[in-house]
Amino acid sequence: MRTFVLLVAMATALVPLAALSRAASGTSVRTLNGSRNNLRHAGWGQANRAYRRVAPTNYADGVQEMVAGPSPRYVSNRIFNDLAQNIFSENDTSQWAWTWGQFLDHDFGLRDQRAGERAPLAFDATDPLEQFRNDLGVIDFSRTAAARGSGVTSPRQQLNTLSSYIDSSNIYGLTSARLDWLRGGRLDGKLANNGARLLMTRDGYLPRASARGNAAAAPAMELQGRLAATPAKAVVAGDIRANENIALTAIHTLFAREHNRIVARLPATLSSETKFQIARRVVAAEEQWITYRQFLPALGVRLDPYRGYNANVDATLSNEFATVGYRAHSMIHGTFEPLAKAGTYSAAQLDAFRAQGIEVKEEDGKVALETPLNVTLGNPDLLHEIGLGPVLAGLGAERQYRNDEQIDNQLRSVLFQVPGPDAADPSECADGPDLPDCFNGVVDLAALDIERGRDHGIPFYNDLRRAYGLPPKRSFTAITGEATDRFPRNDPEIDRHDPIDDPNILDFVALRDSDGNPVEPGTEEAKENVVRAVRRTTLAARLRALYGSPDRVDAFVGMVSERHVPGTEFGELQRAMWKEQFEALRDGDRFFYGNDPSLAAIARQYGVSYKHTLAQIISLNTGLDVQPNVFKVAEEEDS
């Protein structure tokens, strides 16, 4: 039976190249919204469908009421607070890992953005571990809207508004109206008269909302940070979140250039539509090739061997993966460090960077722009000012943060915010211990991650482990791999009577580099080279004080608290969740590169291959020479 399925699949995919010029309603070309990828189950993986469930839902009333638990901000202050201590990947995984992960996320997952019931999170200004001011009094939170027909007599479900497939919808969009705007040619709602190229500026950057005249008529984009007041400056791309930070905007820019590079290599005798569809097909395959051949191996995710397309596999994104498993926010570095040759920028440009809160470092014939994450949010102008090449080069030059329970305060407390009027010196608001003085509101991504799991009815930690075929953890030390789940009895720095509310429990008492050597706190080495840190109290002790039983731990909290599987960036649960989902995205995609003979035909006939590493795509579109595997930081002598 399986052989028959594979033969049918191959026959369906094996089409003449001329068929690529057909409208996307045909079965030989991916639809924009993911429908009809699976010819037996046309809705599998389609946009605006409910997430798949791996485990039974977990609602207090069995239908839609969120389960109770400790206050998310209270948990965040005791578990996720990194006290501005950088802790890096123990595997030399570069910042390309989390930025590619975000780019990929914006290709296959976006919960319904229509606000459901408002359910703000408590903020306790008197909490002894609270460092930030919040004039709003609460942390804003709204539940994800319930999918139609759910949450009344059947368990509440949520919609994924994107196609679940890795199909480059983040570049091309989900609708013909957005694609009509993104493609060169007339803007009249008809794709038939569009050019083959994607619309870009003359110097190779994404178009602004005003590129076609009326910025208000451009496709909707999220307007975060600075863009809220200047919407016409937003760049327009296939996914609405392309302006979120300059690294993400840079990757969108890179692949728009790559599309146009492929188009330029195709014969002029081909129609614009045929050239567009060939380039779109190759770009999607390149994204898959990089994901499966570079990104996942760099993180230590090993999949079962590919055995071909299987129409019985539902590639739809799972609620558990989207809501918990793919939330690797601890990896996100607090700064970007674009790299360029000395002399790339004028003295006036460097002064302008400093005025924004960017630290300029010049040595060894290079200039590094140490750019705080909050400066890059909603700031596409900055990408143009720095340049695409330096931003992309910088991502591969520095390690990402360790994927653990500690999350940078730029995400854990001041996400998407611009410093308040009292913060006169931008350099004081860059990062580190001065951050609380620059903001008067709190947006806590870690707390939101906890509450979103409750909102979506995700099972508790041990129940989720069972759903993924893993045995439950019977103690907190079994989760973290530490020696004890008790607070120290004889430490005079800790309140013996109520230690969970003593700020000293978070103190770092030992820092070590990748060779196990001790690192002195407060030094430059402590800022750049720490991969392991020991706190005054164990994570297990703090988890025990907060939850009481491993069976009551929120899934997200338990997942990121697990000891890593050696050689990977993940604990057992997160790695299992990634393995299940990425195998489904591969095996259940009729157009996966391993099942699409048209890709080989394109390579034979036009010399256009999808088998490019990310480094090769960077080089082809910027002229940069970067390390062969940009997902791993280059050795000093190679950098």
DSSP state of 182: H
pLDDT score at 118: 96
What's the pLDDT band for 639 if we cut at 50, 70, 90? very low
Of 10-24, 209-223, 578-592, the poorest mean pLDDT is in 10-24
The confidence score (pLDDT) of residue 635 equals 64
Whether the pLDDT of residue 558 is over 70: the answer is yes
Q: Are strands 138-139 and 121-122 parallel, antiparallel or unpaired?
A: antiparallel
pLDDT for 428 equals 62
Which range (114-118, 213-217, 634-638) has the least confidence? 634-638
Position 94 confidence tier, pLDDT thresholds 50, 70, 90: very high
Round to whole Å and give the CA distance between 394 and 624: 11
Please report the pLDDT score of residue 224 as a whole number: 86
Where do the domains of the chain lie? 2-327+400-408+443-460+571-638, 486-537
> What is the value of pTM for the model shown?
0.94
Of the pLDDT bands very low, low, confident and very high (cuts 50, 70, 90), residue 311 is very high
**For residues 435 and 224, which has the higher predicted lDDT (pLDDT)?**
224
Q: Taking a C-beta distance cutoff of 8 angstroms, is the pair 27, 15 a contact?
A: no
Residue 230 has pLDDT above 60, yes or no: yes
Q: How does pLDDT run across 354-367, given as a tens digit for each residue?
A: 999 999 999 889 99
Share of the chain above pLDDT 70, in %: 92
Which DSSP letter does residue 155 get? -
- Residue 613 has a pLDDT of 98
Is residue 282 within 8 Å of 262, Cβ to Cβ? yes
**pLDDT in the model for residue 7:** 33
pLDDT confidence band for 420 (50 / 70 / 90):
low
CA distance 136 to 116: 20
CATH number, span 2-327+400-408+443-460+571-638? 1.10.640.10
pLDDT at 212 over 80: yes
Does the pLDDT value for residue 306 go beyond 60? yes
- 3-class DSSP assignment, residue 160: strand
pLDDT at residue 18 in the model: 54
CA separation, residue 213 to residues 187, 209, 327 (Å): 11, 8, 38
**On the CB side of 376, how many CA atoms lie within 13 Å of its CA?**
27
pLDDT band at 1 (very low <50, low <70, confident <90, very high): very low
**Best CA proximity match to 444, nearest among 126, 80, 103:** 80
Q: pLDDT at residue 466 above 90?
A: yes
Q: Where are the alpha helices (DSSP H) in 17-118?
A: 72-79, 96-108
Scanning the structure block, which residue is given the tokens 């009815």?
457
Contact assessment for residue 134 and residue 123, using Cβ atoms and an 8 Å cutoff: yes
Mean pLDDT of the chain: 92
How high is the pLDDT of residue 9?
36
